[in-house]
């Protein structure tokens, strides 16, 4: 009877220890992928079509030393294509100067990550500037730096206006947003960085 009671106690201790280990590991994994600030968890929300490419994005992000920005890259894919098509990062133009030269998702991701990495380096680590430059082209980074300005929507609109007004054929640019048309800023997407970063949401952390 006494031995049986001891065995039961040992089993309870072992079970409790295992539960604690699982909880600690789960918390560790969770917090490694999310920022916890002021009782809130910050994370990005993506569709399954985008999430299916996470491992591929991680692969090239590590290769180009931007692995801490995997979620930003996935948010860019959300904005570009929602993870659909053969060029989910819409990176053909940065590779060959025209749409449609990439027809393999992995090649699209490889090029997109490489281009973002170049932009981030040129932007001296300013993530939002690099994200907007992904849409506008790396010349946008030069423009902001030459103007000695910080990145914001005003400078994005200004750059778009300049590029649109100086274009040889402005008709090839479409004002997809009514705000862009009002500002005569139809080169690229003036709110690209804002919309990419809006895939990040704050959630109240569970107690």
Work out the mean pLDDT of the chain and round it to a whole number.
85
What local confidence, expressed as pLDDT, does residue 26 receive?
A: 38
- The arithmetic mean of pLDDT across residues 65-79, rounded, is 97
Q: Is the pLDDT of residue 1 over 80?
A: no
Share of residues in the chain with pLDDT > 70 (%)? 77
Share of residues in the chain with pLDDT > 90 (%)? 64
Task: Sketch the domain layout of the chain as residue ranges.
Answer: 2-33, 44-201
- The arithmetic mean of pLDDT across residues 19-28, rounded, is 39
Rounded to the nearest 5°, which phi and psi values hold at 202? -100, 135
Q: According to CATH, what is the number of the domain 44-201? A: 1.10.530.10
Distances 19 to 25, 30, 77 between C-alpha atoms, Å: 10, 16, 38
- The arithmetic mean of pLDDT across residues 66-84, rounded, is 97
Task: Please state, in angstroms and rounded to a whole number, the distance separating the CA atoms of residues 200 and 92.
Answer: 26
């Amino acid at each position: 009877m006494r031995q049986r009671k001891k065995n039961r106690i040992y089993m309870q201790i072992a079970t409790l220890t295992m539960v604690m280990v699982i909880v600690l590991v789960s918390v560790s994994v969770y917090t490694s992928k999310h920022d916890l600030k002021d009782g809130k968890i910050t994370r990005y929300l993506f569709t399954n079509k985008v999430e299916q490419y996470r491992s591929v994005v991680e692969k090239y992000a590590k290769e180009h030393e931007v692995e801490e920005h995997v979620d930003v890259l996935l948010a860019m894919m959300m904005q570009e294509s929602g993870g659909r098509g053969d060029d989910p990062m819409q990176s053909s133009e940065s590779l060959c100067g025209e749409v449609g030269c990439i027809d393999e998702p992995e090649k699209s991701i490889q090029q997109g990550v490489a281009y973002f990495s170049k932009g981030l380096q040129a932007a001296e680590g300013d993530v939002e500037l690099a994200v907007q430059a992904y849409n506008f082209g790396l010349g946008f980074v030069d423009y902001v730096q030459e103007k000695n300005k910080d990145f914001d929507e005003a400078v994005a609109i200004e750059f778009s206006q300049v590029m649109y007004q100086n274009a040889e054929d402005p008709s090839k640019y479409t004002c997809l947003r009514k705000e862009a048309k009002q500002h005569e800023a139809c080169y690229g997407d003036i709110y690209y960085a804002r919309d990419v970063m809006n895939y990040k949401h704050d959630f109240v952390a569970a107690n």
